[in-house]
Amino acid sequence: MIINRYLFKEIALSFSATLLVLTLIIVGNTFVRLLADASTGDLPADLVGSLLWFGSLKQLIRLVPVALLIGMMLAFSRLYRDSEMAALRAAGVAPRHFYRAIFSFVLPLSLLLAALVLFVSPWLEQRSLDLRREINERPEAAGIPAGEFVTSGSASNNYTALAESIDPSHTIMERFFIRVQDDAKEVLIWARSAVLFIDSGSGERVLQIRDGYRYETDPLQGGMTVVKFAEHGLRIPLRNYTGNSNLGSIPSQTLFQAPDLPSQAELQWRVAVILSAPLLAMVAFPLSYTAPRQGRYSKIAVAILLYALYANLLATVKGMIERGDFPAFPGLWPIHLAMLGLSFWLLRKYYGKPA
């Protein structure tokens, strides 16, 4: 029990330190990217904090397995450097005792990771999509800043818009003017307010204009038609917009019931993230074996390359399943079995047959 507690402590400390470093890297990179978008006007400054929070958490969940792998490699490498591993093995501590301590830490972590991947991660993805949708529904994202004329399009098909002011909620444009030129047809609209939103069916931006006048010229007969309206909708291509369809935001319960290949691939990907934690822990112990006079960190680079190969194989096969180039069964399972087989092979290579 003393050895189990000692090994548990070493693994937990190394894992926590590695996860903290990865967290700082992720948060820093995400913040720099969001800050660059905010400085160019593509992202409202008041939403940087929310996007940073949701984006960092979403990425951090997926990096728990690699943090576990590196943390365990660091912990066991230190034991080899200080000759503690040799002393433990001389005292009769077999690999099964090490795995008992390892999985006393890894199994609760895997259960927590399963809850995060299956339930929290889709919620984080949906919240990020909601924030992006809110950004795209703001006038600033459509290229209509307050108090400035905005013109876009070609010589025959173009528009010019002006919003004198935008309310504090960044949704309502007050005293709104727009001129739309479509070949020989010209339309002028002035209104007290306008709201921009995304059509859920077509994914296009729609201007909902309220309490105003529409002036339309007739190129054939001449003259102008004036219409007073209480509410008027107008579709114009303010900027390219892509819909918010993302499998990562679909709840896991829904994916279990979906028969299509993309849904099955996404479900297997989530299961793969969960399984990667115990599988990488299985590999980390024999892979950390260090011969006398061998460098302490000599195997960590190998572990990172192994994880990169493992993750890339999973991502590649997931894409093939989505396209129908690979069957949903066995799907990603052969890759997991290969990783499990590698752990047994390394264990037998460095520690021999189990007693």
If you compute the radius of gyration of the chain from its CA atoms, what whole number of angstroms results? 29
Whole-angstrom Cα distance, residue 343 to residue 73?
14
pLDDT band, residue 242 (cuts 50/70/90)? very low
Residue 36 CB: number of other CB atoms within 10 A? 11
pLDDT reading at 141 higher than 60: no
pLDDT at 97: 85
H or E segment to which residue 169 belongs: none
Tens of pLDDT, residue by residue over 222-232, are 778 889 999 98
pLDDT reading at 289 higher than 90: no
Residue 208 has phi, psi (to 5 degrees) of: -100, 105
Whole-angstrom Cα distance, residue 245 to residue 247?
7
H or E segment to which residue 196 belongs: strand 185-198
pLDDT at 200: 67
Residue 105, token pair as written in the block = 């830490």
| Lowest mean pLDDT, pick from 124-138, 279-293, 313-327 | 124-138
Tens of pLDDT, residue by residue over 169-211, are 677 888 888 888 877 778 889 999 988 777 766 667 777 889 9
pLDDT band, residue 239 (cuts 50/70/90)? very low
- Find where tokens 């990172």 sit: 304
Whole-angstrom Cα distance, residue 118 to residue 140?
35
What average pLDDT does the structure give for the chain?
A: 85
The two beta strands, 185-198 and 150-153, are: unpaired
pLDDT at 255: 92
Integer CA distances (angstroms), 200 to 137, 162, 217, in order: 12, 25, 32
Question: What is the sign of the dihedral through the CA atoms of 289, 295, 297 and 303?
Answer: negative
pLDDT band, residue 8 (cuts 50/70/90)? very high
pLDDT at 293: 65
Whole-angstrom Cα distance, residue 214 to residue 70?
65
Q: Name, in order, each residue with C-beta under 8 angstroms of 238's C-beta and a sequence gap of 6 or more.
A: 142, 143, 144, 152, 196, 205
pLDDT reading at 136 higher than 70: no
pLDDT at 208: 86
pLDDT reading at 353 higher than 70: no
Check if the beta carbon of residue 236 is closer than 8 Å to that of residue 207: yes
Query: What DSSP state is assigned to residue 120?
Result: I
Every domain of the chain and the residues it spans: 2-136+245-351, 150-235
Q: Give the strands of the sheet with 172-182, arranged side by side.
A: 150-153, 157-166, 172-182, 185-198, 205-217, 224-235
Bridge partners of 216? 187, 225
Integer CA distances (angstroms), 10 to 16, 278, 297, in order: 10, 17, 16
pLDDT at 233: 83
- Type of residue found at 350: Y
pLDDT reading at 240 higher than 50: no
Residue 226: helix, strand or coil by DSSP?
Answer: strand
Candidates 31, 33, 20; CA nearest to 60 is 20
Check if the beta carbon of residue 298 is closer than 8 Å to that of residue 84: no
pTM for the whole structure: 0.75
Residue 91 CB: number of other CB atoms within 10 A? 8
Residue 184, token pair as written in the block = 């020989």
